[in-house]
Amino acid sequence: MLTRPVFPPSPRRSSIRVLLATLGFAVGGAPSAFAATDTAPELVLLGDRRVNFNRYSDGNYTMASLVRDFGNLSEVAPEETARHVIEKQALKLTLKAGALTEGGFIGVTKLKPSDECTFEFRVRFAPDFEWTKGGKLHGLSGGKGYAGGQSAADGKGWTVRVMWGAKGRLYPYVYHPDMPGKYGDTFGSTLAYAKPGQWYSIKYYIKVNTGEQRDGVLRIDIDGKTAFEKTDLRFATVDGYHAVDQLRWSCFFGGSGDDWRPTRDNVIHFDDFRLKLH
């Protein structure tokens, strides 16, 4: 399963390249003012946060709105952000017909480094969602944030995401130093089978391992119930690369190959993002 890595940035992303901004945000209150600048301000790393879309009216959800809500954002193409709109107080993302990574949304929000983290959101696949062979949902990463077939064997980075597959199967997808193949480790696990048109909550709990020890914890809950837990995981093995320090925006079809491609536009709704650094 081939995905385009976020690091290092591709020439396409370098050319448009980066919105990297930091803005104040008051949960439940009005968004602070956004001012575009020629140079990005000093990065303030994102800490605990809860974001929903109740204060928004239906309509475009701009790059500025996304940065206001989530604190900082990098490696995002403007056309990808334009695929987001607010619909009935939820965030609607349209995945483009015939496209894989280029038809979805990819980006990074940098976090305050933490050895322990919880990240949760709600997701709804549209009633007519076209599962194809599958695709990816948002997650977390650390260090070099390996993905897209990159080797994690040097122990300097990792990524944790959930994938959807044929017939709505949800399963873990993890890059780690001990993964058995070129692409992300699924551990042979199934979290749930999602039904189109129904809301689900996905919650990650991560406690990174110590040094080279096999004592890292990954737990994934679906609708409040533990669907996957591993307590002997090595996220990294090199000092300075263990911590959770990236919220990994990653929603697109693929994989690679035509059996992953949708034949038409498809919609996923998101809501109620919650991040807790322990």
- pLDDT by position in tens, the chain (length 278): 434 333 333 333 333 333 433 333 333 333 322 222 323 344 567 789 999 999 999 999 988 888 889 888 887 776 777 899 999 999 999 999 999 999 999 999 999 999 999 999 999 999 999 999 999 999 999 999 999 999 999 999 999 999 999 999 999 999 999 999 999 999 999 999 999 999 999 999 999 999 999 999 999 999 999 999 999 999 999 999 999 999 999 999 999 999 999 999 999 999 999 999 99
Domain architecture of the chain: domains with CATH: 11-277 (2.60.120.200)
Q: From residue 51, how far is each of 25, 118, 182, 193, 271 by CA, in Å?
A: 10, 14, 35, 26, 8
Q: Which amino acid is at 17?
A: R
Question: What pTM was estimated for this model as a whole?
Answer: 0.85
Q: C-alpha dihedral over 258, 108, 235, 224, to 10 degrees?
A: -80
Cβ-contact 58, 37 below 8 angstroms: no
pLDDT value, residue 24: 32
C-alpha to C-alpha distance for 126 and 105, rounded to whole angstroms: 17
Q: What is the pLDDT of residue 75?
A: 76
Residue 60: partners with Cβ closer than 8 Å, 6 or more residues away? 82, 84, 85, 86
What type of residue is 126? A
